[in-house]
Amino acid sequence: MSLWQRVVQANKPGPPEHSVPFRVASTGAVVVGIGACWSQGELSPTVAVGAVVATVVGNALSYRSRSRPWPVVKPVLAACAIGGFVWFIATVSHTATPGDISTVEGPLAVLFAWVLCTHAFDVPARRDVTYSLAGSAALMAVAAAQTVDLSLALYVVAWVVFGVWGLVAMWQSMSGTRGVPWMTLGIAGAVVAVLAVALVAVLPAPTVSTSLIFPSSSANSSPVDSPSNLTDGSASLPARAASPDGRTRVGGYLGFAKSLDTGARASLGNQVVMRVRSTVPGYWVGQTYDTWNGQSWSESVPTRGTGVQKLESGSPYYIPLSPDQLAVRSAGTTDVQTFYVAQSGPNLVFHSDNVERVYLQSRALYLTGDGTIVSSASMGAGTIYTVVSAVNTASGDQLRAATSATADAGIGQPGVDSLTPAQLVRYRQVPHAYPRVAALARTITAGIGGPGNPDTYDKIEAIEAWMSHHVKYTTDIPPLAPGADAVTSFLFGSRTGYCEQISTATVVMLRTLGIPARETVGYVPGSYNPITDLWEVQARDAHAWVQVWFPGYGWQNFDPTADVPLANPSPGSVLSRAVGRALAHLPWIPISLVVVAAGGMLEFRRRRLRRPPTWAHQIAADLERAGARTGRARRLDEPLTAYGQRLAAGDGADGPGLTAATRLVERYTYGGVEPSAAQIAAALDFTRRYRSTHRRRRSAPQEPARDTASASSKEAPAASRGR
């Protein structure tokens, strides 16, 4: 056979497929796949609508011409397919970025949609319809590669429904049957569900590659025209503290702003503000504050102020080293964080410590001396940016050694491993003497450190431990008296507050001990989604904590009010904890009562179903149970009267009763003689007692027997069984 003949043979259409449900299910799966790609931004609305219309129209025409396909269709479709591949290669060659898979996924989704919607015009046979059904999985895979939340789950459920429907319809068409194999579907579905859960459970914790060009997008963003260049989520509204005329008399906290008032806090909800994929979870810094005036924090070098750098190189932005980071980055480990903004927020670039690069579509970035990064464009919902940091998290022993070595050399001497004298003054600043606060800090840290051995780390740990035992965490804080100092009122007054009061008091106590520290605000990771491998950061995860400078390690995070995981958890551990929490909160007593009641009802129903339907069946069942317990089971070919005689031979005292009972059944079954109620009662009374008498008797060696438990109660107790 020549090559051409082989090609013709391979493309020879099969028998026409007449199953309408199979075709509808296949078309529905493709339409759902197109919709899934559109929902993730891989297809434009115009392309998606055109592909859906072409798929539906093409399948309808193919059904009408299934018995006699049009010869001209195949060459036209072949030309369309070749044109689609040429377009894809040309597009990727001009727009794709090497190493960035996201720049290929969009054109790939268009190519898949094009191939499937053109193929819809030539699906006369079963294999052609099956190809469309299977091809829809490629569209779902492209959509799943871009999803960052569970909104795709609706499309997945719809696609699975169409897929299962299509498989069942294909089986019905092949076998020529109409029924639905519910048992098989149920078992297969259960097996697939168990395997899926098991697969997710054994997956390792995700890691983020550092060798790719990272994604960035500025959807729904606009240039910031605020003079302060920091917004509260709207490009036209600068971020600022609230009026001091409020309930707390020092202003309210509106979010990330130029100053941080510690008097009040807005109620934060559960809405997701952003999702983060990170090599290591951590404190995601938004701003730092170094100047404390007794009631609020501010930046000594505000954004757009003196000393602020403007970076205009374009993405990626390479962040220059600050004076207090010269020796830190070389010792740090690379941490890649990609932020998917879900709600419009401040135009801060959140990040882990010691930023190296920022991938963000913005005209410029503004960088302050303390590491705060602000974009010149607003951060609208849908914005994506990636930050690469050199995180240098040290252990307690390393930090103890660092402060001891610095004390021996003389802390404060300018160099790559220490702060400059001006920086030391800046991060030890207090607005006035704090004699009571300083005395409390010395009392808490009494006995720790000494000349030449400051033991900064142990002092921080001691203050954190004191806070955890002597402070009540609550957002319902009392008003601050006019002119009162917030730290003094907090430590020697109510001792009630939340992260801002607690972290501020910690910073001030450390500064009274001569330890350089600063206030930091941002987000903690929130909850981890094992399906998307993303941390879902909610509004309530906005947080304030303490950063302390350690020579050689830079700014280290300390927090007496929150715990941040040390690593990304495995999906299995997240699922097990979620199941454990769910089980712990279930009302077990009511559930136990319901289970016991349901079990009792099932047992009652089971006993009713097993109850012999007539008195004759009951007599036969009693005798068979008693005989089986003593090793004399009834044989298949043994009449009831003969069985009674065999039992009587071993139980002489019961012989008359056995004979009478079996003959009563025989006359009723074959002779049609209806016994009196007294005779029936007497026979039943005897067989019950006979069964009870042999309940605990030790069994003798078993005769060849059959299982009579279920048959004896329902089958006729024929006196001549087997004839």
Q: The CATH number of the domain where 465 resides is what? A: 3.10.620.30
Number of domain units in the chain: 3
Over residues 311-319, mean pLDDT: 88
Mean pLDDT (the chain) is 80
Q: What is the structure's pLDDT at 673?
A: 83
Q: Pick from 128, 160, 180: which residue ends a domain?
A: 180
Backbone angles phi, psi at 523, to 5 degrees: -135, 145
Q: What pLDDT was estimated at residue 714?
A: 47
80: left (phi over 0), alpha (psi -120 to 50) or beta: alpha
Q: Do both 557 and 641 map to the same domain?
A: no
| Boundary residue ending a domain (140, 157, 180) | 180
In a domain? residue 187: no
What pLDDT score was predicted for residue 417? 54
pLDDT of residue 11: 63
Residues 429 and 561 in one domain: yes
Q: Is 613 found in the same domain as 560?
A: no
Mean pLDDT, residues 651-669: 83
Tell me how far apart the alpha carbons of residues 355 and 350 are, in angstroms, rounded to a whole number. 10
Give a yes or no: residue 576 inside a domain. no
Confidence band (pLDDT; 50, 70, 90) for 409?
Answer: very low
Q: Is residue 245 part of a domain?
A: no
- The predicted pLDDT at position 329 comes to 52
628 and 550 assigned to the same domain? no
More confident residue, 612 or 159: 159
Q: Residue 654 falls within a domain, yes or no?
A: yes
Using alpha carbons only, what angle is made at residue 275 by residues 273 and 281, rounded to the nearest 5 degrees? 120
Looking at the fold, whether 565 and 661 belong to one and the same domain comes out as no
| pLDDT, greater one: 412 or 597 | 597
- SS3 state at 253: coil
Q: Which residue has the tokens 């069984």?
A: 721
Which pLDDT tens digit goes with each residue over 31-64?
A: 999 999 999 888 999 999 999 999 999 999 999 8
Residue 6 has pLDDT above 80, yes or no: no
Do 59 and 138 belong to one domain? yes
414 and 562 share one domain: yes
91 and 170 in a single domain? The answer is yes
Cα 237 to Cα 259: distance, rounded to the nearest angstrom = 15
> Residue 282 — pLDDT band, cuts 50, 70, 90?
confident
The pLDDT score that the predictor gives to residue 239 is: 63
Are 47 and 173 part of one and the same domain? yes
Return the higher-pLDDT residue of 238 and 604: 604
The verdict on residue 189 lying in a domain is no
**Matching residue, tokens 């190189």:** 313
Own/partner long-range contacts of 406-410 (Cβ < 8 Å, ≥24 apart) = 406/551, 407/452, 407/453, 407/454, 408/452
In a domain, 4, yes or no: no
Q: Could you tell me if residue 591 is inside a domain?
A: no
Flag whether pLDDT at 209 surpasses 90: no
In a domain, 342, yes or no: no
Question: Same structural domain for residues 57 and 126?
Answer: yes
User: What's the pLDDT at 248?
Assistant: 39
Claim: this prediction has a pTM higher than 0.85: no
Domain end: 180, 195, 220, which one? Answer: 180
pLDDT at 259: 64
Q: Are residues 176 and 27 in the same domain?
A: yes
User: What pLDDT is recorded for position 328?
Assistant: 58
Q: What is the pLDDT of residue 588?
A: 84
- Report residue 19 as tokens: 């199953």
Q: In what helix (H) or strand (E) does residue 167 lie, and over which residues does it extend?
A: helix 152-175
Residue 133 shares a structural domain with residue 20: yes
> Does pLDDT of 114 surpass 80?
yes
Domain that holds residue 694: 608-714
